[in-house]
Every structure is written in structure tokens, then in C-alpha cells.
Amino acid sequence: MIEFRDVTKCYGTLTAVDNVAFSIARGEYCALLGPNGAGKTSLVRLLLHFTAMSGGVLTIDGLPVSDPHSRRAIGYLSEQPRIPAHLTGWEYLKRCVLLGGTGSAGIAAECARIVQAIGMQGREHQKARTYSKGMVQRCCLGAALLGDPRLLILDEPTSGLDPLGIREVRVLLESLKRRGMTLLLSSHLLSEVERICDTAAILHKGSLRVKDSLAAIVKENETLEDVFVRVVSGS
């Protein structure tokens, strides 16, 4: 579904992404791992065509990411999502539905479906200024799920959530997996990655160091944390 072929991104003399090559199959749950500054956010921005590549080929379902049709079925949650303070959660979701092109007849049903899915019942008509960071995270995750996308890109989706909220997000992602969703998950919570994902791609200093199944990466009684530290430290 997603193919990175020698993808490179430079900002002046800084190479943020350096000849990265790997693929993600349809229905695969892939974790994008690496320390701060590894190139994860740059790679996601390239995938969403927020910025152009310096070199290489990047496709979704065979279409270059520069083609808007390649991005029609993507849901995206950024690392630091925001909701205008004067809007309620429902109003925010409604606006997102309208931007997605859903007809007016389906707006209420789609918003209600998402409110139920993210466990936001009873809070959807409150102003965003009253929301905790975790509630903003929930609402913006709901916005990413509008329209039932085939590919979900999540950047630290459990940031600001308490343990119950983290578990609810995990259960939701597990249910989406059973329906054939493809996921690219950027997270520092390695324990959650191990529970949710099939594969992992580990970046360091802009380069891909590992891309394999979690079973292959975590072997001989190692933990994902042990592998991560060893890859990053070069030991």
C-alpha cells in the first residue's frame, strides 16, 4: 500500500531523511520508531505531501503522494492537535465532515458514530476550551477516523491520555485492525507498540536502521526497548 524508495529530504545542509526504503502492506500495523530528531515527523510530512521530497519515490496504492487521489483515504492525527476554543467537539467534528465532502444528510450520523467510537458521549457539546489535553486528543483522533479511512497515520495518539484512555485507544485500534485498516503509528510508548503493531521501522539520524516484523526484531528474550536502545546507540 505504501512504498518508500530511496526517499530523501534535505533542509539546506541538513539531511532529515536519508535514502529511506521500505514498504507497508495493506492491513499492516507498522510502528515508526526513533529518538527525537530521527526523521519520523519529516517522513510523515512527506507521506502527507505537506512538504516535497528532495529525491526518491513515495507512493500510496501505486499513486505518487503528489497526486491528491492518493490521499483521499487517509486519516491523520498530528502530535499536537488543536481545536478552536470557541467550538464544541461536535461542531469541530461537523466541520471536518463537511470538509470531507459528506452530504448534509449524513453529518449527524457520522458525528454520532465517531463520538461513540472515541468514548466522548456527554462531552461532545461542551466548548473545547473546557477540554483537557486528553479530551482534545480523543476528539482529534475521532476527526482522523471520519469517513472510515483505509490508512491511518497517528503521531503519538496517546499523548495526554490517562491509563484508561490509552487502553481505550488500543481497543479501538485493535477493532479497526480486524476491519482491514492500515496503520502507521509513531510513538515512544514501546509497550503499546508491542501490543498493537505487526512490524516496526526504526529510524536514527534520518536513516532506516531496521524494518521487520516485531517477532523478528524482538527475539532471544529481548524486549523492544532493548533493541531500540541498541540500534540507536550503535552498540
- For each of the chain's 235 residues, which pLDDT tens digit applies? 999 999 999 999 999 999 999 999 999 999 999 999 999 999 999 999 999 999 999 999 999 999 999 988 899 999 889 999 999 999 999 999 988 766 666 889 999 999 998 889 999 999 999 998 889 988 999 999 998 899 999 998 888 788 888 888 888 899 999 999 999 999 988 989 999 999 999 999 999 999 999 999 988 668 899 889 888 887 5
Which domains occur in the chain, in start order? 1-73+151-235 (3.40.50.300), 83-149 (no CATH)
User: For the whole model, what pTM was predicted?
Assistant: 0.93
Placement of cell 488500543 in the chain: 170
At 144, which amino acid appears? A
By C-alpha distance, which of 205, 194, 201 is closest to 234?
A: 205
- The distance in angstroms from the start CA to the end CA of the chain is 33
Residue 96 Cα to chain centre, angstroms:
17
| Residues facing residue 76 across a β-bridge | 153
